[in-house]
A and B are shown apart, each in its own frame.
Chain A
Amino acid sequence: MNATSLVWYALLLVGGTVWGCWLRQHVTRPRDWLPLERPLDLYEVAYLSGGPRRVADTALTRLVDHDALRVSRHGRVHATGRVVTDPTGQVDAVDAHLLALTAVPGGVPADRLVTCLAASPAVDFLGRWLVERGLAAPPADVRRARWLSTTPLHGLAAAMGLHLVLGVGAHRPGLAGLVLVTELFAVLLHQFPPGVATPLGQRVLHDVEEARRTGAAPPPQLAAAMAGAAGQVAVGGLAAHPDSPLRRALSRRGERAWAWCWPSSSSCSSS
């Protein structure tokens, strides 16, 4: 590998990264929207902050907080038989779905619950509502952007890998190192999910955050919800959970290789 190839490599690497960043930015571009007819609720804030999985983390945290679910140190979740209702006596669709998912004998690993709930119609519906109001990017676009944003880097690594296999004998260790570094970089980039909120969504989120900080939250229901652990998880992810044993329990990876949602006849089997 000579200096020219190195320059080409550097150019392609920078180009691929710029492309990836642009794509991730572009997916949350402003879109047509319907007026927002009511303040956001906790799960909508969670969705705008971190997408479907954040909603699931938040719901799990909230129901554990309300004694409707129990998590063990091993991250196994069981229902306690309690149901959480809003002041009008209604059960939130996301909560209802989460409770249904936990009705498995022996409990369910928390990470599987999050995966199943994030893909549930309840969270999907919530996401679509936000998309229609121009607050969030369509989930399919976000997923696509996440994959496409790293494609050039994977391509670069593959091309160099091919070069390594077919190419001349010199500089092999250096080339192998570059292949590794490039691929690692691509994988790392993939680990960070793209943002979900559009500029309008970010503004709404900012208002919520501002209201929370100043204590002047206009919708009292949201203020109450945001005050607890679930509010912190909604905004900051599981890492922001204030209770460390619970945080560790909820972030534990399941011990089973296969994933399957209960009951299989419902939602998850179709995806």
Chain B
Amino acid sequence: MVSVLPRLGVGIGWRPEIDLTVERLPGVEFVEVIAENVRGWSLPESLRLLMERGIPVLPHAVSLSLGGADPVDRSRVAHLAAAADALGAPLVSDHIAFVRGGGMEAGHLLPIPRTRDTLDVLVANVLDAQAELPVPLALENVAALVEWPDAELTEGQFLAELVERTGCWLLVDVHNLYVNARNLGHDPREFLDTVPLEQLAYVHVAGGQDHQGLYHDTHAHPVPQPVLELLGELRHRVEPPGVLLERDDRYPADAELAAEIASIRAVVEPAA
């Protein structure tokens, strides 16, 4: 891959509920918007305002189901491409997951089996999607509560091979690494050592909650300290082009969001 992605800095997920907050939070250098909610012909005023200020707005898709067995839905890819155009985004993203099958919609990003078979299907789907997209595609590791049996690769190996075969970029969610370490016993350090971090587009940081013995990726709770430490581990290996705080529910006071952004910045820009 010869393309070079821009430095993004520290950002936050833009959601309609916190639009005014995001506009006014100090230190927000880029935002991400759920691609499925973007309609090019009627961008929210808040997003237009951010774009006018030169803040990159990246569409983040959740419904391509690239890890699904079916070939990618071209209309969904076309929507993502249109969102990228409307927002003037330098890259787009989705997940290494599946969300539907057999006519059923899971409503959530589910993990896929880490087998050669699956990797082949995933690679074909990603290549198909990339062919229709005007900008680079970054793919994100997901959080899981269930583990597929008979894995042939670790998550890191699986992603490394995906990047090698498709040239996609990586969107590393350190909270999802933490969730999988807690629930599935995965080793996040092995992950960070194995994936090609030179293909890192940016990083997601979020919070979750313990519930009945499992740790859930809620995006509705503060970022726990171990997740910031994992971000630090990543920072030791590479300087991430961007780090984005994801919050999707139970939005706290502006001051608390500002404090979370500041603590993320303290990890990735320690000298500043």
A and B touch in their complex, CB below 8 angstroms:
yes
Report the bound CA distance from A67 to B259 in whole Å: 14
Cβ-defined partner of A78 (8 Å) among B23, B46, B251, B256: B251
Report the bound CA distance from A249 to B24 in whole Å: 15
Judge whether B53 is part of the interface by a CB distance below 8 angstroms.
no
Hey, which chain A residues are within 8 Å of B16, CB to CB? 72-74, 76
Interface string of B1-38 (1 = CB under 8 A from A): 00000000000000011111101000000000000000
Cβ-defined partner of A249 (8 Å) among B20, B252, B253, B254: B20
Q: Dominant SS at the A interface?
A: loop
Judge whether A70 is part of the interface by a CB distance below 8 angstroms.
yes
Hey, which chain B residues are within 8 Å of A71, CB to CB? 20
Q: Are A70 and B44 in contact (CB-based, < 8 A)?
A: no
Hey, which chain B residues are within 8 Å of A245, CB to CB? 20, 23
Q: Are A80 and B253 in contact (CB-based, < 8 A)?
A: yes
Judge whether A82 is part of the interface by a CB distance below 8 angstroms.
yes
Report the minimal beta-carbon distance from A109 to chain B, rounded to whole angstroms: 13
Q: Are B252 and A80 in contact (CB-based, < 8 A)?
A: yes
- With A80-B251, A81-B252, A81-B253 as given contacts, are A70 and B21 in contact (CB-CB < 8 Å)? yes
Q: Are A72 and B252 in contact (CB-based, < 8 A)?
A: no
Cβ-defined partner of B18 (8 Å) among A70, A82, A249: A70
Report the bound CA distance from A78 to B15 in whole Å: 13
**Total interface residues on A, using CB and 8 Å?**
16
Report the minimal beta-carbon distance from A85 to chain B, rounded to whole angstroms: 14
Judge whether A68 is part of the interface by a CB distance below 8 angstroms.
yes
Judge whether A55 is part of the interface by a CB distance below 8 angstroms.
no
Hey, which chain A residues are within 8 Å of B211, CB to CB? none
Judge whether B150 is part of the interface by a CB distance below 8 angstroms.
no
Judge whether B105 is part of the interface by a CB distance below 8 angstroms.
no
Report the minimal beta-carbon distance from B206 to chain A, rounded to whole angstroms: 18
Q: Are B18 and A72 in contact (CB-based, < 8 A)?
A: yes
Report the bound CA distance from A73 to B15 in whole Å: 11
Listed A/B pairs (29) with beta-carbon separation below 8 Å: A67-B253, A67-B255, A68-B253, A70-B17, A70-B18, A70-B20, A70-B21, A70-B253, A70-B254, A71-B20, A72-B16, A72-B17, A72-B20, A73-B16, A73-B20, A73-B44, A73-B45, A73-B46, A74-B16, A76-B16, A78-B17, A80-B251, A80-B252, A80-B253, A80-B254, A81-B250, A107-B17, A246-B20, A249-B20
Q: Residues of A at under 8 Å CB distance from B? A: 67-68, 70-74, 76, 78, 80-82, 107, 245-246, 249
